[in-house]
Structure formats: structure tokens, C-alpha cells
Amino acid sequence: MPVETSLPARSVVLSLYRTMQIIRQTEEELARCHQRGLIHGACHTYVGEEAIASGVAAHLRREDVVFSTHRGHGHALAKGMPPKELMAELFGRQTGCSRGRGGSMHLFSPEVGMMGTSGIVGPCILQACGGGYSFKLMKTDNVAVAFFGDGATNNGAFHEGLNMASIWKLPVLFICENNQFATEVPFSYAAGNPDVGSRGAAYGMPGFTLDGNDVLEIHRVAGEAVQRARTGGGPTLIECKTYRTRAHAEGMGDFTYRTREDVEEWKQKCPINRLRRTAVESSQASAADFDAVESEITTLVKDARDFAEASPWPTAESASRNVYSEGAAAAIAAPPPATRSITFTQATHEALAEEMKANPLIFVMGEGIGIRGGNFKTTAGLYDLYGPERLCDTPICERGFVGLACGAGMTGTRPVIDFMFADFVLDSVGEIINQIAKMQYMSSGRLKMPVLLRGCIGIGHSAATHHSGNYYGMYAQVPGLRVVVPSTAADAKGLLKHALRCDDPVLFLEHREILSIKGPVPDGDYEIEFGKAAIVRPGTDVTVVALARMVHLTLSVCDDLQKSGISVELVDPRTVSPLDVDTILQSVHKTGRLLIVDEAFGPCSIASEVSAQVADRGFNDLDAPIKRINGAFTPTPYSPTLEKVVIPQPEDIARAIRELMAE
């Protein structure tokens, strides 16, 4: 055992002891409650690891932020969450820190800087980078801390996150709690280099390996790291070797992968007893001091349990609230008449430039969006105005910077992720669906998620299958996301402005083959609300619902059809989530016929959804079966002759309309 040469002040020692006791006693009470059947889902305790959260959090201010893991009770308590809110959450009650929405693995208390725990391993590392990025942009000296287990260090998020934190010198502490098992897989088996602390060097940042049961040592090293972060010295990696002395989760068998003897041996290394012994031996504090703290906490935890048990259940009506932000919607002025014609790309550039000028919290991240101005000229000229922090070129690590955007959005800035091609961002779908989309809901609306994810979709010009994807249907299936698929320059500008002002995460998907199409765009400021379809062309005989490029292709056949007596009403939903079904239903009420033209794959698509909704709510208006034209259900081929046949062509659309009229 290392010799503690100098102990911190008595108040610090007792404070560390107090935090550890809060964690230990709360966890033991939770274990008891789990056995009694009062906790409904999983319960991952932090027993044995208390020194780490306590030693690090002792240096944090309320404004500093913590991002944590599935084993996060200790982090929440150490950051200042009252035990009663934690217990009520695990009891599933309205008074819980996440209002009963999260349970053990989703603890949110942004009010005290506890930005959330996650059931997924890795994202907290990236979100802490986002917190650090926000603080850097807002020029505060706050720091962000990621707590994660040894399992996360073998995950891509670790690599991507540490690298980004290093190159941008972000004020972040990466605290690896190496408890030697990732769920039940030994780290000694799973890691080629089992020394995590030494990996700091691989990213150009200080790295430490500490005894994770020595709260004083953790406290000392973390203090230096926090100071370094606050003063612009960048990130630090700290590995704390420790052990959890209860099962992975309460109720799970524990001795199929480790022995009773091992557990017993580590119980003897209890960090709480160790601090007490050390302090008493060196006369820094007395046994009576510690006893007083312990008994105070016993009362606190008992009260917490009583509070939890007496708390009301959340109401059924609240189950679907806060999926999207519920702030008062600002009045949205109708677009003034258009007086000029510009391209789709020019229109979105105007929207971004105007909003960046108005809102200093907006920053753009992506590959080549800095000096270069974007592969599609999305940010041309903006770097000269706003510099590298707001026009931030990234390494090619989509998961990394999308996860960072999540953390930035949670901490007060407004990231714009320019991912160039929608295909690229598939590497970060976990961050989008599991984190970004769910964050407002899981925090019961206390966190906002103003993250804009933009990039190109669409087939054309032999881009082949990794630069052609249309994935809006997939995103539209996820509650919490807004999905925008504009077809015209005017719509693109108004919708992008709205995206940059709303508090919801938005996927803004731009069909590459229409970027240079010019269209009338109003001068001046305007927004277009999500969920309002456009009647592109009124008609009486058949309703065609089309998206993005398909709007243009459909429009190209309407005049010919009109000459043969078929009047087409063309509806462009503009956003697929929310989807304006009412406008489509009104149109079908008039025409009695519906064709959906969508370049994306057919199964479980927007076309399927529109069909189902109309078949359900508009059944009595249908004078013919609903028809769909989708892109071929195949990866996108390269050769022009192959590519042509997988995209709906104007003649396909015209034929389908004629056939529908004969039904």
C-alpha cells in the first residue's frame, strides 16, 4: 500500500467519506429493494467503486458536466443528485430524476450537471467531448467528465473521442473505471494492451493509471487534470483499477466467470474503510467524525426510500410527452413573394449564413467544411467570417463527431453536422437513434437537442452504392427526430431556417441531383414549418405524392397528362417526420386516386406509411387501389444503364398514372 505522505484537509477527507457513504448506503438499499421486487428493471450497483466518482466529482462545480454509463448511480450521487431522486427513479415514480422514464440506466439531472447515463457503452465519451466543445465555444472554464468502464476502451467511441479531444484540446476528463470485467468478459482477455492509462500517449494526452480504491490519490490526480482542463491544457485520461463487489446487475449470477474468493479479497480492499483507517491512523479525523457522517447518511437514505415509496406513479398521459420540444412555437411568418431565382445550394447557404450571423452558438462540423467550404459548397466563405471553431474540419470519424454533436447540443450550443453523403453517417446511427433522438424524452424535456444533421441523399451520376442512399424512411421510424426532404430552393431555405431555430434534432437530407436546380426564392427572412405539405400543382383526377427529385420528375409529365384529360394533383410532403397526412387525405378526398412516387426502397417506407394511412383514414374516398412506385430494392449500381433502371423514370410515372386512371 502506498504511503500517503500528506492528507488533504479534514473537511475534504470527511467530504469524500460522506460522498462514498451516500453511494454505498444508497446502493445497498437499492439492492435490498430489488430483492423485495420494488425495482422493476435492471439495477447496476457501484458498490466497491465509490472512490472514483467521489474523488473526481469533489473538484467539479455545478456547471461542470458529467456523462456516464449504465453503472451510473455513483456518478449521479457524487455530482449532487439527491438519493431520493435516484431511488424514486428506480422505483419508477414521477419524482424520479428522469420522471420514471429511465430507471437505473438513464439518470438525468441537468440541473446539477448530471447530463445522463446510458445503456449503451461508449457514447458518454463522445458526449463529454461535445460538452467540452460547447465550453470552448462559449469561452467558459467549465469542464466535462466522461466516466466509462474498461469495456468502453475497446470500443470505437474511445478512439474517436480521445483523438478529437486531443486535436481540439477540449476541457475533458476521461475516467476509465477498470473493474476488470466488461459485463462478464475479463478485460485481461479482451484487451491487447490491458494498460489503459498508457493509451493516453497514443492520442497525445497525459495518461495515468491509479489504484481505483484509493480515493485520496484519485482526488489528487483528478484535481490536477481538472485544473489543466480549466486553463486550456486540454484533456486527460485517468484509468482507475477497481472491482465491483456485487453482480453485474442485481439478481444476476456472479460466480460463473469469477470466484467467491476474488470477490471476498476485493471486499477487503473497500475504499471507504481504507480512507477511514488512513485518516484515523494519521489523526486527520476521528472515528467519531466518521460515525457521525455514517449515521447522518443512514437517515438520509432511509428518508430517500420512504420518499420513493410514497411518491406517485407517472400519469399515463405523460407517456408520450417530450418526444419533441414543447416550447411555445414562435410565430412563423409566411414567405413573402419570390422575386429572384437561385439554386437549391445557394438557398441553403443563405439560410446557414444568416443564422450563423444571428446566433453565435451555431457551429458546423464536417469533413472539408472549413477553409475548403464544403464538398457541395455548403459553407463556402463562412470560414473567413467565423474561423475554425465555428467551421470545424473533422477527422473522418462520423460516429465520433455525431456523438460530439449530441453532447454539444445538451450543453447549450447548436451543432450543424455536415456529413456530405448520408451513407457516411450510417456509422453514427447508434448515436442518432439511441442518443440524439431519445435525449429530450429521457430527460423529460429538460434537455434540448438542437442538432442539425445535413447531407446528400439520392441516386444519380454513377455515384454507386456508398454515395446514393435514401435513408429518410429509416429515420422517420424513430420518435424524436425531424426528417426533412425538400425539393425546391425556396422550401430548402425556409425549412433549413426553421431547423436552425427549433430545439429538435433534424435530419436535413438534400437530394444531390437537384442541388443546382434554380427556383424562385423570397428575399428576406422566412421559415417553413415542419409537417406542412405543399400542393405543388393542383388537379382533380389523381393525387401523386412525391419527394425530393421525384417531385421534379412527376411535374415533368403533368402537362402531357393534362392534354389527354388527366388532371394530376401533386403533393410534396417536404418533411417525412412529421408527415402531413391530412393534406394528402384532403387531396384524395377530391381525386379518389393515389400514387406515391419515392426513390427510396419500398418495404417499410414513406410510401408504405402514406398508403397505410390513406387506406385507413381515407378508405371511403378511394376509387381505385393505392399504387406506389419506388426505387428498385437493390443496392445502387454504378453503370449508367444499370443505374437508370433502379430509379423511377418520368415514363414510369406517367404510365402508372394512366394505369391508375383505368383501375
Partner 1 sequence: MAFEITIPRLGWSMEEGTFVRWLKKDGDVVKPGDAVFELEGEKAAQDIEAVDGGILRIPATAPQPGTVVAVGAIIGYLVGDGEQIPGPAGASAPVQTAPVVAAPAPAPAAAPSVRRMARELGLNLADVTGSGPAGRITAADLRPARPAAEALVSVRSRIASPRARRLARELGVDWTRLPGSGRGGRVRAQDIMSATPATGAATTASVTVPGATIPISRHRRTIADRMTYSRQNTAPVTLTTRIDATNLVSLRQQFKAAGGDVVPSFSDIVIKLVSMALEKQPLMMAQWAGEQLVIPEQISIGMAVDTDAGLLVPVVRDVPSLSLMDLSVASGDLIARARTGQLKAGDMQGGVFTVTNLGAFGIDAFTPIINCPEAAILGLGRIRREPAVVDNQIVPRDQMSLSLTFDHRLIDGAPAARFLQTISQALETPSAWLLSSP
Residue numbers at the binding site for partner 1 (CB under 8 A): 28, 31-32, 34-37, 41-42, 250-253, 255, 267, 540-541, 567, 592, 619-624, 662-663
CA–chain centroid gap for 54, Å, is 27
How far is the C-alpha of 219 from the C-alpha of 292, rounded, in Å? 23
Cβ 610 to partner 1, closest distance in Å? 17
Query: How many Cβ atoms from other residues are within 10 Å of residue 289's Cβ?
Result: 17
Q: How far is CA 332 from CA 416, 449, 482, 496, in A?
A: 22, 20, 17, 13
Q: Min. distance of Cβ 67 from partner 1 in angstroms? A: 25
Q: Give the alpha-carbon dihedral of 439, 327, 500, 434, to 10 degrees.
A: 10
- 189 vs 619, which CB is nearer to partner 1? 619
> Closest Cα to residue 229, out of 94, 119, 64?
64
As measured in angstroms, the least distance from the Cβ of 424 to partner 1 is 36
- Give the phi and the psi of residue 394 in degrees, each rounded to 5: -120, 155
User: In whole angstroms, how close is the CB of 219 to partner 1 at the nearest point?
Assistant: 28
Closer CB to partner 1, residue 34 or residue 136?
34
8 Å CB contact between 126 and 406: yes
Nearer to partner 1, 42 or 332 (CB): 42
User: Measured between alpha carbons, how far is 429 from 401 in angstroms, rounded to an integer?
Assistant: 12
* Residues whose CB is less than 8 angstroms from the CB of residue 423 and which lie 6 or more positions away in sequence, other chains included: 465, 466, 467, 468, 469, 471
Contact 13, 7 (CB under 8 A): yes
- 44 noted as active-site residue: no
Cα separation of 132 and 229, whole Å? 9
Provide, rounded to whole angstroms, the least separation between the CB of residue 593 and partner 1.
9
Closer to partner 1 by CB, 230 or 267: give it: 267
Q: Which is catalytic among the residues 59, 159, 467, 498?
A: 467
The least CB distance from residue 510 to partner 1, in Å, is: 37
Nearer CB in complex with partner 1: 37/337? 37
Cell numbers that stand for 506 in this block: 433534424
Q: Where are the alpha helices (DSSP H) in 415-514?
A: 429-430, 439-442, 472-476, 489-499
| Beta carbon of residue 250, minimum distance to partner 1 (angstroms, whole number) | 7
Rounded to a whole number of angstroms, the minimum distance from the CB of residue 37 to partner 1 is: 4
Closer to partner 1 at the Cβ: 104 or 284? 104
Terminal C-alpha separation, the chain: 86
Residue closer to partner 1, measured from CB, 117 or 134: 117
Q: d(Cα 201, Cα 203) in Å, to the nearest integer?
A: 5
Which residue number, 359 or 540, has a Cβ lying nearer to partner 1?
540
Q: Which is nearer to partner 1, 36 or 139 (CB)?
A: 36
Cis peptide before 522 (omega within 30 of 0): no
* Paired strand residues for 366: 393, 418
DSSP 75-131: HHHHHT--HHHHHHHHTT-TTSTTTTSSGGG---BGGGTB----SSSSHHHHHHHHH
Q: Point out which residues pair with 542 in neighbouring strands.
A: 568
Q: How many Å apart are CA 290 and CA 8, to the nearest integer?
A: 16
Contact 662, 595 (CB under 8 A): no
Cβ 279 to partner 1, closest distance in Å? 24
Rounded Cα gap, residues 145 and 124, in angstroms: 9
- Residue at 243: amino acid letter: Y
Active site residues: 467
